[in-house]
Amino acid sequence: MNTSGGEIIFGGKTNVENRHIQPTIILNPKDDSPIMQEEIFGPILPIKVYKQMDDVIEYINDNPKPLAVYFFGKPKHADSYRLRDETSSGAYVTNECVSQAITHYTGFGGVGDSGSGRYGGFEGYKNFCNRKGGMIKAAQPKAIREMTLPPFTNDKV
C-alpha cells in the first residue's frame, strides 16, 4: 500500500511473508509521509523535483541532516558546488547513489541525526583507534616562562 502520497513510478510491490520489497522509486512523496520521516534502509528511492537550486538547499537545510546528498549532473557545475558547500550531510556524492557506502577511501557514516563517525576503510579504522595528540615546541625564553607560569603575583598581572 502506498502511504507516501507520491507517485510510484517503478516497483512498489511487497511480500510481507517473504520480507521482500521490490526496488521502488517514488516521485514527489509528501514531506509528512512515513517514507520521508525516517532514514530509508531498503530499496526505496524517493525523488523530489525542484526547479531552483535555492529551493533544494533550503529544503535540505530545513530538515534533519541526511545520511547522503546526491547530485546528478556535471560534477563541476555551479549547482554541484553549491549543493556540496551549502548543505551538511554524511556524504556528498555526484552521479552515483550506492558505492559511497562501500568505498575504502572515505568511510561511511552520518552527521547529526543520521549518526556520527565513520566505519569502513582507513577512516573507519581511525574512528575506532585511540589516537594520541602531541605537541612539540621549542623552549621559551626565561622571561616569558616567568611571566606565564605560577606563582602569579601582582607584578605578573
pLDDT digits (tens, 9 = 90+) for 49-75: 999 999 999 999 999 888 888 899 999
Say yes or no to pLDDT of 157 above 80.
no
- The pLDDT, as a whole number, for residue 2 is 78
In a domain, 1, yes or no: no
Name the residue range of residue 56's domain: 7-148
Which neighbouring-strand residues pair with 93?
70
Res 24 pLDDT > 60: yes
CB burial string 28-64: b at 16+ within 10 A, e below? ebeeeeebbeeeeeeebbbeeeeeebeebbeebeeee
Q: What is the CATH number of the domain that holds 99?
A: 3.40.309.10
Residue 28, domain member (yes or no):
yes
The residue that leads in pLDDT, 5 or 118, is 5
Secondary structure of residue 116 in the 3-state scheme? coil
Q: Tell me, yes or no, whether 78 lies in a domain.
A: yes
Q: Domains in the chain: how many in total? A: 1
User: Which pTM value belongs to this model?
Assistant: 0.67
Question: Count of alpha carbons within 13 Å of 48, Cβ hemisphere only?
Answer: 17
Percent of the chain with pLDDT strictly greater than 70: 85
- What is the model's pLDDT at position 152? 78
Between CA 120 and CA 127 the distance in angstroms is 9
- Give the pLDDT of residue 100: 74
